[in-house]
Chain A
Amino acid sequence: MTTKTGTSLELEYRDTNGFGAAQGGRGYYLPVDLAVRSDGRIYVLSRGDAVQGGNGIKITDIEHNWYDVISGRGRSPGEFISATAIVFDANDRIFMADEELNRITIFDADHSYVTHWGTQGSGDGEFDGPSGLAFDRDGNLLVVDDKNHRIQRYTPEGGYISSIGSHGSGDGEFNFPWGVTVAPDGNIYVADWRNDRIQRFTHDGEFIDAHGTTGLGENQFHRPSNTAVDTDGNIFVADWANQRVQVFDKSWNFQTSIRGAGELSVWAAEYIDANADEKEARSSFDPYPELDVEDPHEVSARTEPYFWDPVSLALFDDTRLLVLETGRHRFQVWEKV
């Protein structure tokens, strides 16, 4: 049973970082994950596509500075075809998952390729479509094994340790799980994507609870893709196909829901300023036109400020929530109030 409390957590829109960069350069194209390094730099996994490009791990910060690009499209060591997730270990090494190549690639803190591991299959220590990564409190790596419907735990070097879950809809079972998050208290949160719920486990993998049913109301989800959990235990859920983020306290009491409010980022504004015809035409642009559709995906497709496929979340200084959108090639910054 969940109820709304009297002291709700709210989120206020602050900023947008991003720019559609299909041909490469500053910005992102079809980004799928982001992670904040210990020094505050923000790494965005820009998956790109097979036709134009825009592939790589793009590095920025909360002030819109632009730094570097790591990796890119390819099958050679250090490259990716269909990257899905990135995460830092305690030494700022980067771990990147690729669901097409079925491998975990490691870069050191200086961004140099170190190694990769992974074997496609369904046995212990094998995976089929790694889609989410998180380090547990012991420094071992949790890998969401999408098409095998389970979570596996490995040493950072790829040594198999254990597995959580199997295909199904019961407690502790999964249906195409996507993102995984380890909360500050060590509990594990899994976006149980096609079961339209979030499941919570102890550090040891014991089932705690599940939250959510299918739908568009409060406490309901449609294909949730990822979570973030702050130091107070508040839970932020990327409600992917509902095109929103829902927020709960640690007891799953609903707090708030946000639909997106993206404005021109610094990079986007520079582009508009440099293109006089588009600048003039945009001056009469109504970002919220009257629509004749209700499906959230369609609404987002026609409404630039709204989240479009909000795929991943990250907390910055535990005060700001970064919401990454695959469809709009950007992340929005929201602040807890």
Chain B
Amino acid sequence: MATTTKSGTDLDLIAHLLRRAGFGATRDELEEYASLGYDGALDRLFNMGDPEALPVDLIRRHQAEQSDNRIAPASGSHWMYRMATTKTPFEEKIALFWHRVFATGQTKLIQGKVMLSQIEMFRKYGLGSFRDLLIQLSRDPAMIVWLDNQDNHKDNINENYGREILELFAMGVGNYSEQDIKECSRAFTGWTIANMPYMSIRMRNNTLRPYGYVAWQYQYDPDDHDDGEKTFLGETGNFNGEDVIEIICKNPATANFVARHLYHYFQADEFPVPQWPFEEPKDPAAIQLMVDAYFANDYSIGAMLRALFESDIFKSEETRYARIKSPVELVVGTLRLAGGFDWPTQEIYKATAACNYMGQALLAPVSVEGWMGGGDWISTGSMVQRINFASGTVGDKNKKGIKAIVDGISERHPTGDVNAEDLVDDCLEFLGALQVGDDTREGLVVYAREQGEIDPRTDDGANKIVSMLQLIVSAREYQLV
């Protein structure tokens, strides 16, 4: 049975929305969003506002090495700060989504500045028209170098980017020919970066010498662009990159491909992407819903997601906890519950490293195909890491968020006696209205009973609450979103 607020809003539904469109929520955040009603909560998520709970100038001053031009763990940590503290979590969630689809790796690029500029571009364009996003992506220096488009010349094409924009980024295998790849690549000749020879050598030599990394600048070289006639996906003309992108965007295969990715990330785990040419979508109705929104709204990603979130398909009970949390979702969600990143600190490295150990190194996806997700996230080793991180983080009762949970439970029981059932229910609610199965709840209640008398006003009581929180975040349900 659903939990409702005083205003009658279904709190469990709001919690579901915030887990999918964000990284979960504290009890206070839940109440705040619930007070707006479901549609109001959606409006709040889509109208981003000021994200800067931890402004960038403070990070650059106090932890310069975690600023945006540094090496891999530091630049990943820079993004981790933003996700762990932002007031606009949907913006980070959509950036994380595109980082997975347009997987680009600092492992090759070496410098973090261009990677974080790409993430910033995802924040800015990630919910807009897919046309604009693909144009920005094609001009993005990190993507250009990641897929060697600086080596794509009018008299000697390099097909790497031309192939991947069709196969991995927009359409999927089976919707274009090898000739389309060549023509697409010709359209993107001349799309390069300034000072390409020197920047390429420095990247190859993996050196910040002599004066640190110089961030790359997109440059269009008309002399190196093949302006000849091309035939692409059945259309003929003197196409440049923008023309090719328009042809891609209006193709139904593109709408289906993007919708399936969104479904896989926001609705339920799908088949791994390489299987998509051979497996029908698990929920064709949900895909069609988003495809219709795509074509009715100038290829708008935001419109696709709005249509999904407003649908009964998304709101249904069956959808809840239907996905396995990615490592970043698990780590960031736990950090946001526990609090403690009001200030730039070196502690952030531990969170970034934890994601890495669980199989999702920020800014360093395993390949150009990105992370497969779903069951791939879970292995014996990663499960141990996930539980250790979550239980270790909520096990620190000095953290602001944990202290708030203890205080909140204490306020509910002013006489100091909490029975086992109430303790379990309170803890589940304060962890973001988490729902668990009957068997899990029974186990938690048995554990609570074994703790004996629980008075949250005392240190002993606080410790018992914290132990219960640790047990809950170690449960199967906490691994799901």
Whether B201 lies near A301 (C-beta < 8 A) is no
A73 to chain B, nearest CB (A): 11
Which among A105-113, A148-156, A231-239, A323-331 touches the partner chain? A323-331
B351 to chain A, nearest CB (A): 14
How long is the Cα–Cα vector from A33 to B61 in the complex, in angstroms?
Answer: 12
Residue interface bits A1-33, CB-to-B below 8 A is 1, else 0: 000000000000000001110100000001010
Q: How large is the interface on A (under 10, 10 to 19, 20 to 34, 35 or more residues)?
A: 35 or more
* B214: chain A residues within 8 A (beta carbon): 301-304
Q: With contacts A30-B64, A193-B61, A292-B217 known, is A278 near B211, CB below 8 A? A: no
Q: Which of B62, B73, B205 contacts A51 (CB 8 A)?
A: B73
Distance (Å) between the CB of A228 and the closest chain B CB? 19
Q: Mark A78-122, 1 if CB is under 8 A from B, else 0.
A: 000110000000000000000110000000000000000000000
Sorting the interface of chain B by its residue count into under 10, 10 to 19, 20 to 34 or 35 or more gives 35 or more
Residues of B within 8 A of A291 (CB): 217
**Residues of A230-289 whose CB lies within 8 A of B:** 241, 262, 264-265, 267-268, 271-272, 275, 277-278, 281-282, 284-286, 289
**Cβ-based interface call for A209 (8 A):** no
1/0 contact string of B30-70 vs chain A (CB within 8 Å): 00000000000000000000000000011011111101111
Smallest CB separation, B71 vs chain A (Å): 6
Judged by a CB distance under 8 angstroms, whether A68 is at the interface is: no
Contact A18 B65 (CB under 8 A): no
Establish whether residues A289 and B211, one from each chain, have CB atoms under 8 Å apart when the complex forms.
no
B65–A50 contact, CB under 8 A?
Answer: yes
CA of A272 to CA of B194 in the docked complex: distance in angstroms? 20
Contact yes or no, B205 A309, CB < 8 A: no
B212 touches A285 (CB 8 A): no
Distance, CA A328 to CA B209, complexed state (A): 10
A277-B219 contact, Cβ under 8 Å, with A50-B346, A272-B210, A309-B60: no
Within 8 A of B (CB), among A158-188: 176, 178
Separation of A52 and B201 alpha carbons in the complex (Å):
21
Q: How far is the CB of B154 from chain A (nearest CB, A)?
A: 19
A48, A100, A278: the one within 8 Å of B205 (CB): A278
Asked whether any CB of chain A lies closer than 8 Å to the CB of B177, the reply is no
A44–chain B nearest beta-carbon distance, Å? 14
> Is B135's CB within 8 Å of the partner chain A?
no
- Residue A124 CB within 8 A of the other chain: no
Considering the chains assembled together, what is the distance between the CA atoms of A103 and B209 in angstroms?
32
Q: Are A49 and B210 in contact (CB under 8 A)?
A: no
Interchain CA distance A302-B209 in the complex, whole Å: 15
Judge whether A197 is part of the interface by a CB distance below 8 angstroms: no
B195 on interface, CB distance cutoff 8 Å: yes
**Across the interface, do A289 and B195 meet the contact criterion of CB distance under 8 Å?**
yes
Q: Is the CB of A223 within 8 A of B210?
A: no
Picked from A223, A264, A278, the residue with its CB within 8 Å of the CB of B202 is: A278
Q: Which residues of B from 182 to 203 have beta carbons under 8 Å from A? A: 194-195, 197-198, 200-202
A286 lies within 8 A of B349 (CB):
no
Instruction: Report if A99-B62 is in contact (Cβ < 8 Å); known contacts: A19-B210, A290-B194, A328-B212.
Output: yes
A16 vs chain B, min Cβ distance (A)? 9
Tell me, rounded to whole Å, the shortest Cβ–Cβ distance linking B247 to chain A: 25
Tell me, yes or no, whether A47 is within 8 Å of chain B by CB.
Answer: yes
With A50-B349, A178-B61 in contact, do A18 and B198 touch (Cβ < 8 Å)?
no
Closest Cβ–Cβ distance, residue A334 to chain B (whole Å): 17
With contacts A51-B73, A51-B74, A290-B194 taken as known, whether A281 is within 8 angstroms of B211 at the C-beta atoms is no
- Count chain A CB atoms within 10 A of each CB in B69, B74, B218, B349 and give the residue with the most: B69
A127 within 8 A of B: no
Interface residues of B in 442-480 (CB under 8 A from A): none
Contact yes or no, A329 B195, CB < 8 A: no
Is the C-beta of B296 less than 8 angstroms from some C-beta in chain A?
A: no
Interface check B216, CB cutoff 8 A = yes
Asked if residues B219 and A275 are in contact (CB atoms below 8 Å), the reply is no
A277 and B210 contacting across the interface, CB-CB below 8 Å: no
B289 within 8 A of A: no
Residues of B contacting A271 in the complex (Cβ-Cβ under 8 angstroms): 209-210
Task: Name the A residues within 8 Å of B200 (CB-CB).
Answer: 281
B222-276, CB < 8 A from A: none
- Judge if B208 is at the interface, Cβ distance under 8 Å: yes
Q: Is the interface of A mostly helix, strand, loop or mixed?
A: loop
B198/A282 in contact, CB under 8 A: yes
Which of A100, A265, A278 is in CB contact (< 8 Å) with B201? A278
B209: which of A20, A178, A277 is its contact (CB, 8 Å)?
A20
B113 within 8 A of A: yes
- Please tell me if B215 contacts chain A, counting CB pairs below 8 Å: yes
Q: Determine how close the nearest CB of chain B comes to the CB of A27; give it in whole angstroms.
A: 8
Which of A47, A81, A193, A301 sits near B64, CB closer than 8 Å?
A47
Q: Are B198 and A329 in contact (CB under 8 A)?
A: no
CB <8 Å contact, A51 and B194: no
User: Do the beta carbons of A285 and B74 come within 8 Å of each other?
Assistant: no
Within the assembled complex, what's the spacing in Å between the Cα atoms of A32 and B64? 9
Q: Are A30 and B65 interface neighbours, CB within 8 A?
A: yes
* A282, B71: Cα distance in complex, Å: 22
Residues of B within 8 A of A225 (CB): 61
Does A135 lie at the interface of the complex (its beta carbon under 8 Å from any beta carbon of B)? no
| Contact of B211 (CB < 8 Å), options: A30, A49, A241, A262 | A262
B residues less than 8 Å from A267 (CB atoms): 210
Q: What chain A residues lie within 8 Å of B61 (beta carbons)? A: 176, 178, 193, 223, 225
Q: How far in angstroms is the closest Cβ of chain A from B168?
A: 26
Q: How far is the CA of A18 from the CA of B58 in the complex (A)?
A: 26
Contacts of A289 in B (CB 8 A): 194-195, 217, 219
B194 touches A286 (CB 8 A): yes
Digitize B346-371: 1 where CB-to-A-CB distance is under 8 Å, 0 elsewhere. Answer: 10010000000000000000000000
Who on chain B is nearest to A278 by CB?
Answer: B201
Q: Would B217 and A264 count as touching, CB distance under 8 A?
A: no
Cα distance, A176 to B62, chains bound together (Å): 11
Is B113 within 8 A of A301, CB to CB? Answer: yes
Q: Which B-chain residue is minimally distant from A277 (CB atoms)? A: B201
The docked-state distance in angstroms from the alpha carbon of A290 to that of B211 is 20
Residue of B nearest to A19 (CB): B210
Q: Report A239 CB to chain B, min CB distance, Å.
A: 13
- Min Cβ gap B276→A in Å is 35
25 pairs, CB–CB < 8 Å, chain A vs chain B: A20-B209, A47-B65, A49-B64, A49-B74, A50-B349, A51-B65, A176-B58, A223-B61, A241-B57, A262-B211, A268-B211, A272-B210, A277-B201, A281-B201, A284-B195, A284-B197, A285-B195, A289-B194, A289-B217, A290-B194, A291-B217, A302-B217, A304-B214, A327-B67, A329-B211
Q: A47-B64, A301-B214 are in contact. List 14 more A-B contacts (CB 8 A).
A: A30-B64, A48-B65, A49-B65, A49-B71, A51-B71, A99-B62, A176-B61, A262-B211, A271-B209, A277-B205, A278-B207, A281-B197, A298-B117, A327-B212
